[in-house]
Amino acid sequence: MNAWRAAALLCVVWLPALAAGGQALDGATRENWLHHGGTQSAWRYSALDQINAENVSRLVPAWVFQTGDYVDGLQSTPIVIDGVMYLSTNSNHVFALNAATGEQLWRYEYKGQPTAGFWVQFQPHNRGVAVEAGRVFLGTFDNYVVALDAATGGELWKVNVDNTAQCGCMIRSAPLLADGKVIVGVTGGDGAFRGYITAFDARNGRLVWRFHVIPGPGEKGNETWKGDSWKFGGGAPWSIGSYDPELKLLYWGTGNAAPDFYSGDRVVTPRRTDAGINLYTASVVALDVRTGKLRWYHQEVPNDVWDYDSAYEIVLFDAEIDGRPRKLLLHMNKSGVTYVQDRVNGKVLNAFVVPEASNWIGGVTRDGKLVDRREPAVGEMRNFCPSGFMGAKSWNQMAYSPRTRWFYTPTLETCMNIESMPQKPVEGGFFVGGTGGVVLPPGRDNYSHIDAFDPLSGERKWSYPYRYVLLASILATAGDLVFTGNPEGFFFALDARSGRELWRFQTGAGHRGSSVTYAVESRQFIATPTGWGSIIGGMAAGLFPGEGEKWRKGSAVVVFALPEGE
């Protein structure tokens, strides 16, 4: 019996988000879209249902806002609070807009050094701001956190996180707001760098704590690194975490070990492959929000030699298992191996593989052990699926609906040819330890699909195939709808229960960002960023010669609603 099938034998009763102690975990948004993932639980789900499966075919454009910043498209997640939309661009411009009309209320242009540091030159991306208590928080391409007045856009404070020119790192994701703190991770997992998560006081920018992903000498876990390799071992937590306020725990995914494809200089011998190699890279870590201290961890890919980050979103949800209410989380590794864990103690309750093209392992056990690993070799090009560069899913987020109790994920079907080779680190420099490129798996006529699956059984409920690659986030709503966009420029809605396409609209540019929904004066809106771009977007386009170059760039927010009066 397959491991994920065995999980179906669990006695599971779904709760209406009942948390331990009887407090409800509500990961739904309503009139406002408050956080990057909608809420701190990262459901990307709205309880609004004015727009639903019965009337979505009547959606029309309500307004469009052009940012004018066409650097690598628009990857931002809009934040909407009390009728105001806050939006950032890749050049670190921030806009406040009337969320009902698109009228610009104010604009802020960050004055930094966009050419300082390796990753800034090649990936000048910004994926959103955070907003709370009348302040807008922005992470920048030269490693600052900036606080703005939400009413005026005036700068309130600015604090440096690190020297970008030295570390080769930057802040790309939106900050996470939790317990009065602004919490950020940094890029650099493919460079000679030691990743970390930093918390600042939201009132004044004062440093509260810093958690280094790779332990230093004398710290538990440092013994899993060979010599001084820990200094440049990667592990960059470049995306955003989640937060459980009842447990006071942050959940954050960490990046791959560096160099990406060669571990000969970083792994202690004799080598183990089951657990505890190059800690705490390619892991989910649970941190005390008050101190930054590690409470538990789960390393998904010990001795990562494929570039299989664990840096993606972590979704918090609850269910009753074997008669007991459990506080759970779900996390998909870049490899497509997906884990369901008890978020109190980190115990793995189920694990399963989502992509169809997967040859780097023979499988995964129900408790998360990788079976029959295949690894890159020095002097030999080998093929691995999924691709390490693109992943079985990009950074774009999945969604969870408490109505169906299913997760919805944009799954990619790509592979990668890798040759491993030794490389000496240069601080802040490119550090991959090999060469290779992304390729398409043979014998397919589609290379991505939206999947709906039951997290506790691993059973796929439906799949929506797509010829090219889907690199935009998923939005789910109480109207039993699932929204996303594709690189050809279409924004579309699926029936959340069947996967049937119900509506689509050509927005004029490809989709790389995260759509949101909100309401102003009882009218529901759906907003989607548009504009193709980025290194990964370029890789994706290159896989389809004669077709991918047609995917249009841009930088606009396109907003939809039902016709007025309906």
Provide the annotated active-site residues. 307
Pairwise CA distance, residues 255 & 238, whole Å = 7
What DSSP letter does each residue of 340-387 carry, written as one string? EEETTT--EEEEEE--S---SSSEE-TTS-EES----BBTB-EEESS-
10 CB contacts (<8 Å, ≥6 apart)?
A: 321, 322, 349, 350, 456, 457
How, if at all, do strands 104-109 and 93-98 pair? antiparallel
Are 504 and 488 in contact by the 8 Å Cβ rule? The answer is: no
What's the DSSP call for residue 429? S
Of 329, 336, 401, whose CA–CA distance to 41 is shortest? 329
Pairwise CA distance, residues 196 & 355, whole Å = 30
How, if at all, do strands 242-244 and 207-212 pair? unpaired
Are 85 and 520 in contact by the 8 Å Cβ rule? The answer is: no
The H helix count followed by the E strand count for the chain is 4, 40
Sign of CA dihedral 176, 188, 170, 292: positive
Pairwise CA distance, residues 373 & 375, whole Å = 6
Pairwise CA distance, residues 379 & 462, whole Å = 41
CA angle 240-252-203, nearest 5°? 60
- Name the burial class of residue 2, with classes exposed (0-12), middle (13-18) and buried (19+) by CB atoms within 10 angstroms of its CB: middle
Of 95, 138, 143, 89, whose CA–CA distance to 116 is shortest? 143
Collapse the DSSP code of 242 into the 3-class scheme (helix H, G, I; strand E, B; otherwise coil) and give the result: strand
What are the Cα distances from residue 1, in Å, to 102, 349, 527? 54, 16, 44
Helices (H), 124-234: 164-167
Of 480, 325, 333, whose CA–CA distance to 401 is shortest? 480
Of 341, 461, 446, whose CA–CA distance to 407 is shortest? 461
Structure-token match 């009066």, residue found: 565
Collapse the DSSP code of 50 into the 3-class scheme (helix H, G, I; strand E, B; otherwise coil) and give the result: coil
Task: Give bridge partners of residue 182 from the DSSP assignment.
Answer: 177, 200
